[in-house]
Chains A and B, each alone.
Chain A
Amino acid sequence: MHGTDTFPTGALAAKSLAADAEDRATAAALGAERVPAPPSEPDFWPNVHAPDAARTVTADVARLAPVGRRHALLVFLSNPTAVAGLLILAVVVGAALAAPILFPDDPLEMAGRPLQWPGQNPRFPLGTDALGRDVLAGLVHGARVSLLVGASATLAGLLAGILVGATAGYFGGVVDDVLSKLIEIFQTVPGFILLIVLVAIAQPSVPAIALAIAAVSWPQVARLVRAQFRAIKEKDFVAAARALGFGHGRIIFREILPNALPPVIVLASVTVATAILMESALSFMGLGDPNVVSWGSMIGTGRDLLRTAWYLSAVPGVAIVLTVLSLNLIGDGLNEALNPRLGGEG
């Protein structure tokens, strides 16, 4: 409605509009909830007015206000499902860190009588497998592998994705054409099949698997970063930085990148989740690192006894689901907290 539904009384209209926009900008800068609004239609009919000045202003102001970050944290922490995700993940990380203390013995060694069901023997709360290995010990040690692969694959994928995406988005032109095509090619190739090929070529080891997963997950990051860069490089503060004579490197890493990060952070949590899923699928198929116990390999070995001892497959699967779910819940919470469009309205 702004801009169209104005009175022919030019000065009056202009004044009231300016005041309106200012109010909103201030409210946004303070990270406050919507101030008790004057009884005006635009506030209640967000769809009626075109993408208007007020919103653009909030976006720019948000960048300047450090309060925005604290506000995002508050939004995140007041989201019950996000906090639940954080708690689950904390337990998994704690278990992974404490694994050598809790279960100092090699989880691949026999610990007791084989095939005891969970609850049967208090020494093995989650039972033992066909070779008498402690399922709980395997679970706790498996958390190390899952988290390590998930985190390092994501880190490598982010690094590559940001580099390619930023270069493509910032420079545009032929560079962008070529890199975009590269991203597209990698997104066209079925990721998991490529992953199998890479792991088969490289021989399975934890670092190789992490790198291979990074190789199939970077395009998504690159796509997002490219889009962010294309949008942000048009903003005034980037033009200002250029006018000050800053070099490309400084503009890319100091000016644009920090502003492009929020959605990348959201994506990162989902990427960790996907990486954990991919690692588990690989080890399930017997393509994982044979020297470490992982959740996927536990399911894979349990599969042969699916009819008689299905808990061997079920238990590690629950661990995967909970870990991945926690990461996705966190990603969701981050999205709500960091996305100004959603954050303001909840």
Chain B
Amino acid sequence: MTTRRLPRILKALRRTALQAVPTVIGILILNFFLLRLTPGDAADALAGEAGAATVETLAALKSKFGLDLPVLEQLGGYLSNLAHFSLGVSPRYNQPVAELIAARLPNTLSLMGLALVFALVIGITLGALMASFAGRPADRVLSVVALLFYSIPSFWIGLMLIVLFSVKLGWLPTGGAETIGANLTGWDAVLDRARYQILPALSLALFYVAIYARLTRDDMIEVRTQDHVRTARAKGLSPFAVTRDHVLRNALIPVTTMAGIHLAGLMGGAVVVETVFSWPGLGRLAYEAVMGRDFHVLLGILLLSSLLVVAVNAAIDILQAWLDPRIEVR
């Protein structure tokens, strides 16, 4: 059967690639457009921070980073840099933007990954529970709970989790990525990092828990009324086996699509959560870039995260081709 899946997946790959190209071009244009709109520049900010800004130091700074060139030339430079996988140099950090981002990206990805796992596991479980109580008070209550999760700002729940688990109970650290100076190795290091990641990932996940719970509930209720589920029951399968092998599998296909759609939102949410927990990821970098008016870094992050979303969506397309045999006829 795996041999049967391969052409389906290759087809999906080609289609996805064809769709992605104009999107990427559009994103590049959007980025250029935004860059043109940026007021002031990093040199001003740097000089401002340094205190006494003379005209000469300012000019020197500007010419060093190419900030004195006309906007169009800057854009041309940006574009040609992009072609060489370079996102320019950050005046603030005095480091190539691509390097800055590359250093922070893994942290953000692992945070998002864990958040997504939390969101899917808790959300699907909650949704399956709601579906099995559909129409009864338990379903109604869980629906409102899900809606409540949906209404809580991630940064605020992050702070409240800190108050509870770090300040009051002292179980988990308030922020950062690892215990500084502990020099742990192996499993200890992994566990140490995990302790730092739980609260931010949970804060980020809560909103999506609500989404997946409701989505799973609705899908399962819909799938459950489909004829093939009756066939499965007629085979003598237990309710649990029917749910696991027939209902859930069909219901999860739309959930994976949504996970792709939400990736962009998750990325944005990470920015806020990272600032709450001082998590050294892209979000925190973006925050620092805004504060320092470092638009090269900021737009680099915007560009890269957009491209990341395109890439992950492509991956999800392929996952769906694997999950859903009907995909090739569509």
Contacts and interface: CB of A to CB of B under 8 A. Distances in A.
Interface stretch (A70-78, A133-141, A322-330): A322-330
Contacts of A325: 147-148, 151
A65 interface: no
Contact of A192 (B39, B148, B268, B276): B268
B66 to A, nearest CB: 19
Nearest to B37: A201
B159 interface: yes
A304 to B, nearest CB: 11
A181 B29 CA distance: 13
B155 A188 contact: no
Question: Does more than half of chain A's interface fall in helix, strand or loop, or is it mixed?
Answer: helix
Contacts of A200: 290, 293, 295, 298
A81 interface: yes
A81 B265 CA distance: 27
Interface in A174-231: 181-182, 184-185, 187-198, 200-201, 203
Nearest to A346: B135
A299 B305 CA distance: 27
Interface string B290-319: 110101001101100110011001000000
Given A184-B23, A185-B23, A192 B271 contact: yes
A217 B140 CA distance: 29
A190 B159 contact: no
Contacts of A196: 271, 286-287, 290, 298
B152 interface: yes
Contacts of B313: 188
Nearest to B263: A190
Interface in A255-304: 273, 277, 280-281, 284-287, 296, 299, 303
A306 B152 CA distance: 18
Nearest to A216: B268
A321 interface: yes
Contacts of A193: 267-268, 271, 286, 301-302, 305
A194 B290 CA distance: 12
A284 B264 CA distance: 21
A194 B151 contact: no
Interface in B15-40: 22-23, 26-27, 30, 34, 37-39
Contacts of B265: 190-192
A281 B153 contact: yes
14 contacts: A46-B225, A81-B140, A181-B26, A189-B306, A190-B302, A195-B268, A196-B290, A197-B299, A280-B153, A281-B272, A284-B153, A284-B156, A317-B156, A332-B147
Closest 9 CB pairs of A and B: A192-B268, A317-B156, A324-B151, A185-B26, A325-B151, A190-B267, A190-B268, A47-B225, A190-B264
Given A203-B39, A313-B159, A328-B151, 5 more contacts: A46-B225, A193-B302, A277-B151, A299-B155, A317-B153
